[in-house]
Structure 1
Amino acid sequence: MFLASGALFLGFLALMWSADHFVDGAAATARNLGMSPMLIGLTIVSIGTSSPEILVSLMAALSGHGDLAIGNIVGSNIANIALVLGATLLLAPIPVNSMLAKRELPLLTVITLATGVLIYDQFLSRPDGIILIVALVVTLFIIHKWQQQNRRPEDEVAASQECDEEIPELSQGKASLNLAVGLVVLLVSSRMLVWSATEIALWFGVSELTIGLTVVAIGTSLPELAASITSALKKHHDMAIGNVIGSNIFNLLAVMAVPGLVAPMSIDPTVFGRDFPIMAGLTILLAIMTLVGKTPKVLGRPSGFLLLGCYIAYTLLILFQA
């Protein structure tokens, strides 16, 4: 317990430091390569911060802990929307890119519902894994095409220019170094946090499924939390929300495919009957929040309180049922 508690504290400090360097490197790379911050958030940042979920799901699947693998994926997506975005909004309001609300968020909603249909039989097979990987490639191609079009309303151009001014002036060599070092420390520190939190949870006798949905999901979502908060505070708004959306897409299509490809498994009926509908409901709620209301749309503290309230209620539900 003493070792786990110390690792938890050190992992948190390392995570904060690495997130700052990682976001700076990603933002500078976006400028140097002529890419938009939104595209970086939806691809490089989201894939990098989703790496812990891949590692946990792969190891859990190979070890025969299917509940931990699936719980990690679904729990991480719930945490990304309700905990990560909710906490970020409490610290800094985020202007919503209208193209994101009309394209990427509906795409995430469709992917979420389609994934539900795919695993409705409560079994994740190798054909399912192949379908998810193919869908990932198609999705990345679609997002790339959307970003190439670069069609945004005039009232969002000024906000984009303001965001671009906040990107640090770094040479590509230094930006790549920040990106690489930040990513490595992110992965190591998040793994340290997951290990320590899991050890503490096991010491209290919590079930494997509950660990996957809560402790492990929160632990593997900490890179998204750190990256989104840091991006929002630095006024990289597109990266802050794009990271959450991109991570959830990547979790469903890439991370979900890993257990199916390496070790096909049955899915606990509780996950599909309780947790997956909550994940889909939160995704739809976020889509509604970005589309309904005054324009230009800004998500602020009321939205943050709502999302965090949903996450607290969900966590209490799991603990009560456990």
Structure 2
Amino acid sequence: MLIEEEAFVLLINVVIFVVGLVVLSWSADRFVYGASALAKNIGVAPMMIGLTIVAMGSSAPEIVVAATASLAGSSDTAVGNALGSNITNIALVLGITVLIKPLLVSSSTLKRELPLMLIVTLIAVYFLADSHLSKIEGVVLITLFVLVIAGMAVLSFTVEKNDPLIAETETEVPSDVPTPNAIFWVIVGIILLPLSAHFLVESAVHIARHFGISDLVIGLTIIAIGTSLPELAASIAGVLKGEDDLALGNIIGSNIFNILAVLAMPGLLNPSVIDGNAANRDSLVMLGLSILLFIFCFNLKGTRRINRIEASILLGIFIGYQFVLFS
């Protein structure tokens, strides 16, 4: 009887997790839609909106989940979400996207963001090296996040006119949306994002406890993969429309924001000792994949195509990493 009751509770939590994930992704999309439309209505340039609001939107689920988990005293879940999302973005999302269609990297904007992603990844590895995330480190990360957003805003005025990212980014900004409608969707997002994140984290923790999985691993796997689904959808849609730079830009921008904004949450809201595996294993996997992406993408001589062989390597690493986590 007790076993049946435990199985029923587990099933309920799985349902809550799935519903929470769907609502989280949907409300993040609606929030970005409303905020982008509102910004355009008040005269903000589409390129600036694309490089700031739309770019941040892909990391909105991770930011809210990390804040919720940190406030609940589960910093390992928040850290796992940040690291796991970056690993998933490069190894799984990019791997699947490139298998569908090889990516041509041509935007000068992306070639500026790639080194930035590598730099902030190194900062994350350094901060986690002592298996402790302090409030000062959280402040440093969130300060860098604000500076990066400001830098992207400035960058929107200096992007070359023939940069392919301009047209691709501007197509993502909604037009002809009445201001009251835009405000409505912003409010919907503000309400549903934290609410769905709360139920998502609570159910994920229960599932982890049931199977004897650590908070770090549940953040690295089920939550990270779940919150990375918007990036997967956006990247596949982008590459199918021939918007290669935008597809890759979503992943690079998301990884930058995951480190600076998502990883900042446990430092700011619940400074504490972190599971040692985050420093000794997971942050190093994230760094290795970031370096690999840099090698695949960065070419000083001109354009560069990420091919299906490289995509297979990324997917192979992801599968092997999941095997290590659960072995």
User: TM > 0.5 between the two?
Assistant: yes
Change (3 A) 1:19 1:264: closer
User: In the alignment, does 2:143 pair up with 1:134?
Assistant: yes
2:209 — aligned with what? 202
Q: CA deviation at 1:143?
A: 2.2
Equivalent residue runs for 1:1-322 within 5 Å: 1-7=10-16, 10=19, 35=45, 39-151=48-160, 154=162, 156-157=163-164, 161=167, 170-171=176-177, 173=179, 198-292=205-299, 295-320=302-327
SS of 2:228's equivalent? helix
Q: Are the equivalent residues in 1 in contact too, given 2:67–2:265 (CA < 8 A)?
A: yes
SS of 1:95's equivalent? strand
Larger deviation: 139-148 or 195-204?
195-204
Whole-angstrom distance in 2 between the partners of 1:74 and 1:270: 11
Larger deviation: 183-192 or 99-108?
183-192
SS of 2:303's equivalent? coil
Percent identical among aligned pairs is 43
Q: CA deviation at 1:109?
A: 0.6
What is the CA RMSD across the aligned residues, in angstroms? 3.6
User: Number of residue pairs matched?
Assistant: 316
Larger deviation: 235-244 or 246-255?
235-244
- Structure 2: runs of 5 or more not aligned: 1-9
Whole-angstrom distance in 2 between the partners of 1:3 and 1:223: 24
Q: CA deviation at 1:103?
A: 0.5
- Structure 1: runs of 5 or more not aligned: none
Change (3 A) 1:262 1:242: same
Whole-angstrom distance in 2 between the partners of 1:271 and 1:309: 21
SS of 2:157's equivalent? helix
Amino acid corresponding to residue 221 of structure 2 in structure 1: T
SS of 1:206's equivalent? coil
Q: CA deviation at 1:167?
A: 7.0
Change (3 A) 1:14 1:132: closer
Q: Describe the superposition over 1:53-99 as per-residue Cα deviations: whole angstroms up to 9, x where unpaired.
A: 22332233233323222222111111122122222223344332331
Q: Are the equivalent residues in 1 in contact too, given 2:129–2:280 (CA < 8 A)?
A: no
Change (3 A) 1:18 1:136: closer
Q: Describe the superposition over 1:181-222 as per-residue Cα deviations: whole angstroms up to 9, x where unpaired.
A: 678777776766665555444332222221121122222222
Q: CA deviation at 1:149?
A: 0.7
Amino acid corresponding to residue 85 of structure 1 in structure 2: L
Whole-angstrom distance in 2 between the partners of 1:54 and 1:163: 22
Amino acid corresponding to residue 213 of structure 2 in structure 1: V
Whole-angstrom distance in 2 between the partners of 1:189 and 1:210: 21
Amino acid corresponding to residue 308 of structure 1 in structure 2: L
Q: CA deviation at 1:299?
A: 2.9
